[in-house]
Amino acid sequence: MNDVLPAEIGAWQHLERVLGGLLHDYGYEELRVPVVEHTELFKRSIGEYTDIVEKEMYTFEDSGGDSLTLRPEATAGIARAAISNGLLRGARLKLWTAGPMFRHERPQAGRFRQFHQFSVEAIGFPGPDVDAELIALGARLWQRLGVTRVRLVLNSLGTSAARAQYRGALQTYFQAHEAALDADSRRRLQGNPLRILDSKNPALRALIEGAPVLTDYLDEESRQHFAALRTMLDGLGVTYTINPRLVRGLDYYSRTVFEWISDALGAQDAVCSGGRYDGLISQLGGEATPAVGFALGIERVVELIRQAGTAGQSRPPAVYVIANGALAEPRALQLAEQLREALPGQGVQMNLGGGSFKTQFRRADRSGACLALILGDAELDRGMVALKPLRREAGQSECPLPDLPARVQKMLQEESWTST
């Protein structure tokens, strides 16, 4: 579980701004769901034979005897919220949320126990058009972030009926190779053999490569859905590869599944994963409602932004206020407040804790501010304050106190200072 320090926050805020703006452009609205839910919700939605439910959940009993779990992902909570707040009733919802998720995994580069996701969900839309639009949103995000080393992998899981047939074929195949399976996979062989395809054990790779593929078992409707999605993506100019073994880590998906992966992140290469989950809401007790969504791993995208060097730096203040003298110092506090009132969003940093003019000028310079405002008892006596541009060689000029906000504004314009 990591601390995100001020030096790193620029890339986080950049991603939040860019993706927040895009989600608005595509008609998504934010909702915020709790970080804790009943354990049962995750067992029923994510599935018993998944890494998450088998070994990654932070589960505890509260003093009332309820079994609660820190959310490992947000889709289940959003589906629960849509049901329990009566938002469904045939409505079409485009929702997003962002925040921390918790999984007790082995920590390594790109894999943490508290990590953060954007979770984006379109509920009540059955067609492949919304799948295509969600994927286009992802493609536009990479473009806006200036992140190039990502590519899209697609697959279709078909309906649950088609998967049941496939499941039989997989079971037969893996049973014939049972001795080669690891303990996790052997357990999943009976419970959910599809999960074996999602195994991260390199020793199983060759065996998995040889397994029957789901594509051969797709039902006709899913086939058409997938073909239509591909046509739309081609029309949008979004490129992809199809990986018939992409099954995703959670049980609730049906039909379209996709993953944006990067070759710039080492082993933890998935940055954004999603798919259609038409059965989830009815499985949780809501009226049958088709839905599709994705979860984006913020830490991994932040790392891509860092590599691309496209993050905004933290913003320096526009003005640094220097004051020295028994009368000047309290008066400077007032002037700083006056400037914050007149120039919202610009950043006015007050020198706190005194110091010689020389020390204060050094701090002003280090702050990255555009202008220094200088107040001593002598200036104050004459009703004046001094101003000095800090980003170029320039002398200081005086300004009558009542003119200060207007003069600062004018000088910032002359210095071509922008607050963003």
**230: nearest Cα among 126, 115, 128:** 128
Site for ligand ATP contains 135 (CB under 6 A)? no
Restricting to residues 220-259, name those near Mg ion by CB under 5 A. 249
> CB–CB of 233/273 below 8 Å?
no
Residue 96's binding partner out of Mg ion, ligand ATP, none, with CB under 5 to 8 Å set by partner kind: none
Considering only 158, 279, 293, 297, the residue that binds ligand ATP (CB under 6 A) is: 297
Stretch that binds ligand ATP, among 31-39, 104-112, 363-371, 384-392 (CB under 6 A): 104-112
Q: In terms of Cα–Cα distance, which of 282, 280, 291, 296 is closest to 93?
A: 291
Q: How far is CA 163 from the centre of its chain?
A: 31
CA distance 262 to 264: 5
Contact flag: residue 270 with ligand ATP (CB under 6 A)? yes
Residue 346 partner contact from Mg ion, ligand ATP, none using kind-dependent CB cut-offs of 5 to 8 Å: none
How many chain residues bind Mg ion (CB under 5 A)? 1
For ligand ATP, which stretch binds (CB under 6 A), given 1-9, 110-118, 175-183, 210-218?
110-118
How many residues bind ligand ATP (CB under 6 A)? The answer is 18
Is residue 111 near ligand ATP by the rule CB under 6 A? yes
In 3D, which of 157, 191, 171, 187 has the Cα closest to residue 280?
157
For residues 79 and 72, what is the distance between their CA atoms, to the nearest angstrom? 14
Instruction: Based on the shown chain and the rule CB under 6 A, indicate whether residue 103 belongs to the binding site for ligand ATP.
Output: yes
Decide if residue 249 touches ligand ATP (CB under 6 A).
Answer: yes
Site for ligand ATP in 335-354 (CB under 6 A): none
105 binds ligand ATP (CB under 6 A): yes
Determine if 73 is a binding residue for ligand ATP (CB under 6 A): yes
Specify the residue, 226 or 294, whose C-beta has the smaller distance to Mg ion: 294
* Minimum CB–partner distance for residue 55 and Mg ion (Å): 10
Ranges assigned E (strand) in 230-318: 241-242, 254-262, 270-276, 291-297
d(CA 196, CA 216): 18
Supply the DSSP symbol for 53: I
CA of 49: how far to CAs of 35, 146, 194, 199, in Å?
23, 38, 10, 12
- Per CB under 6 A, the segment of 78-86, 131-139, 176-184, 293-301 that binds ligand ATP is 293-301
Task: Select 103 or 276, whichever has its Cβ closest to Mg ion.
Answer: 103
CB of 53 to ligand ATP, least distance (A): 12
The terminus-to-terminus CA distance of the chain in angstroms comes to 31
Task: Enumerate binding residues for Mg ion (CB under 5 A).
Answer: 249
